[in-house]
């Protein structure tokens, strides 16, 4: 799609805005609709748009598939890690109150932030990796 100037210019203007909106949705999930899943999908949509307009190879250079596999696993590890940390600090698995025994609600905030971050990382990486897998298979045929 490199020859289509309108698409190229519009995508260049929109992709940073989509990424910014994804970050907004990720961290404002506490105050409005949003959270990890929605933000992950929006991030992935921006990367897929980049791949569609500028080419799969450029997209794979910007976001290497090896890194995607790593980030996907890292997200789940972060989520489980928060659970293990709460157990180490004396609570039960995923009892965020134990993260900050003096102020339980601060512990809840921290726990929810980390957990949603883990979910967002995993969903972004998984959606991009699946798209790259399909696109690669299609290109070889």
Binding site for other proteins (CB under 8 A): 25, 29-35, 37-38, 41-42, 44-45, 48, 69, 72-73, 75-76, 79-80, 83, 93-94, 96, 104-105, 108-109, 111-112, 115-116, 118-119, 122-123, 125-127, 129-131, 133-138, 140-141
How far apart CA 44 and CA 21 sit, in angstroms, is 12
Find the shortest distance in angstroms from Cβ 123 to other proteins.
Answer: 6
State the nearest-atom distance from the C-beta of 72 to other proteins, in Å.
6
In the chain, the N- to C-terminal Cα span, in Å, equals 19
Task: List the Cα angle 27/32/37 in 5-degree steps.
Answer: 55
Nearest distance from residue 137's CB to other proteins, in Å? 5
Rg over alpha carbons for the chain, rounded to the nearest Å, is 18
Distances (CA, A) of 41 to 34, 46, 87, 91, 93: 11, 9, 31, 32, 28
Q: Which is nearer to other proteins, 54 or 131 (CB)?
A: 131
CB 23 to other proteins: min, Å: 15
Closer Cβ to other proteins, 9 or 70, answer by number? 70
Q: How far apart are CA 16 and CA 49, in angstroms?
A: 11
- 17, 42 in Cβ contact below 8 A? no
Helix axes 104-140 and 36-54, enclosed angle (nearest 10): 30
* Residue number, 80 or 85, with CB nearest to other proteins: 80
Smallest distance, other proteins to C-beta of residue 89, A: 16
**C-beta closer to other proteins: residue 3 or 137:** 137
């Amino acid at each position: 799609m490199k020859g289509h100037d309108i698409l190229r210019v519009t995508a260049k203007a929109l992709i940073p805005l989509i990424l910014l909106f994804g970050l907004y949705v990720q961290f404002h999930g506490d105050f409005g609709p949003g959270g990890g899943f929605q933000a992950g999908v929006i991030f992935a949509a921006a990367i897929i748009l980049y791949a569609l307009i500028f080419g799969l190879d450029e997209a794979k250079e910007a976001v290497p598939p090896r890194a995607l596999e790593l980030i996907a696993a890292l997200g789940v590890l972060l989520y489980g890690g928060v659970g293990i940390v709460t157990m180490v600090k004396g609570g039960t698995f995923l009892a965020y109150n134990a993260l900050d025994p003096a102020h339980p609600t601060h512990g809840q905030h921290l726990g929810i932030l980390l957990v949603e971050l883990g979910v967002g990382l995993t969903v972004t990486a998984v959606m991009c990796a699946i798209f790259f897998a399909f696109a690669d298979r299609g290109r070889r045929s």
